Amino acid sequence: MPSMADVQPNTPSLTDASDEAGHASAVPAEPLTEGAEILDDLRAQLKRYVAMPSEEALTAVALWVAATHLQPAWQHAPRLAIVAPEKRCGKSRLLDMVTETVHNRLITVNASAAAIFRSIDGDDPPTLLVDEADTLFSSPRAAEKNEEVRGLINAGHQRGRPTLRVSGPEHQVHEFPTFAMAALAGIGNLPDTIQDRAVVIRMRRRAAGEKVASFRTGRDTPALNAIRDRLHTWLQPLFAQAMETEPPMPVEDRAADTWEPLVIIADLAGGDWPMLARTACRTMTDYEAGQDEEGGLRTRLLVGIRRAFAAVGDPAMLGTKHLLESLNADKEAPWAEYGANGLTPRGLQLLLKPYGIGSANRRFPDGTQAKGFARNQFLDTWARYCPEPKPADGPAPPADVPLPGTAA
């Protein structure tokens, strides 16, 4: 699909249509709405100066910027996490673009938590902007020093989570609002508690064939500020409509909370934006789910266990020994990091403990006894954390991991 930035809003395309006499006639396509046109222009500006990692990421950033202009309408204030594996990947340039187009920017370089929450207006929240956010959490000492900042950023994701402080000569307790959208840029992943509440943009260094225009503040900022003003003018009259809208979402739970403002903006804009927003939401959320090292590791383990049972006809029980042999036979799995012999019985127990699943002495059909697992121990956990794909989504993953032997 061509980028919406490539569409010329003032040049209507012609389509063939039949009139009452049966003759084909040229009919102009439906013109873009004001909102779609502004978002297209914002996308074009972002794409001009920054080599974005994907079209979905480009869509997400444009919608996130627009959502800052209706912050009082939202129940949740999504974070924008701009991360990169190393320097010179464009994260700071992207943050520059965001800075010039968001509503009521608040740059927080070296700012204390107290200064930040005293700057947040509950009726008209600013947009917090944090560059080099990785330095806040780069070491245990830095993380401890900035724990209050992280707490503020986490609390500000949801409306109605004020911070309490004792202030004034009479030492009275005062509530300070924390609700505000925030963009953070840094090298490497940010703390899980922040990224779990964020639309994550994973920047990468430009390839040889990727070209972007140079950005000059004095020359290029006015065009970005003009788009900022157009966004604000378009969206302010839609405040009540945005606040009452509950759009159908392609994701659930916290991901839905985070992406809902972006999807609402897309629905208000119309055109291709509702489809683009939901595609970006689904694609980027699925990708981030696979990046969760701890949760992703356990999910992979659950899928591996399901395949091990399926490989021998889904027996009622499977011995720990043979289950581990099946898991460790997967050369692409991360179990090799658990030692020379791969995943051990104790390692397996520790990974399954959060789900309330453990091995026990079991009697197998051949009369032997050994440590093992019952298949029905996993049924509820499989359904909740790694459900089988529905038929409409395609066939279930093949049970391609060979199981050496049967139950002990």
Residues of the chain with CATH 3.40.50.300: 34-291
Q: Is the pLDDT of residue 153 over 50?
A: yes
- Give alpha helix (H) positions in 207-340: 217-235, 239-244, 253-269, 273-291, 293-311, 320-328
Kindly report the three-state secondary structure assignment for every residue of 318-341: EEHHHHHHHHHCCCCCHHHHHCCC
pLDDT computed for residue 337 by the predictor: 67
Q: Is the pLDDT of residue 183 over 90?
A: yes
Q: Is the pLDDT of residue 401 over 50?
A: no
Q: Percentage of residues in the chain with pLDDT exceeding 70? A: 84
Average pLDDT over residues 14-25: 42
Average pLDDT over residues 181-209: 90
Whether the CB-CB separation of 30 and 229 falls below 8 Å is answered with: no
Q: Is the pLDDT of residue 403 over 60?
A: no
pLDDT digits (tens, 9 = 90+) for 306-354: 999 999 999 999 999 999 999 998 877 777 667 667 899 998 998 899 8
pLDDT digits (tens, 9 = 90+) for 54-96: 999 999 999 999 999 999 999 999 999 999 988 889 999 999 9
Structure tokens at 104: 């009521």
Q: Is the pLDDT of residue 108 over 50?
A: yes
Q: Is the pLDDT of residue 243 over 90?
A: yes
Q: How far apart are CA 187 and CA 205, in angstroms?
A: 12
Q: How far apart are CA 61 and CA 54, in angstroms?
A: 11
pLDDT computed for residue 331 by the predictor: 79
Q: Is the pLDDT of residue 126 over 80?
A: yes
Sign of CA dihedral 102, 107, 112, 115: negative
Q: Percentage of residues in the chain with pLDDT exceeding 90? A: 54
Burial class (CB in 10 A: 0-12, 13-18, 19+), 221: middle
pTM: 0.71
- The CATH H-level (homologous superfamily) assignment of domain 34-291 is P-loop containing nucleotide triphosphate hydrolases (3.40.50.300)
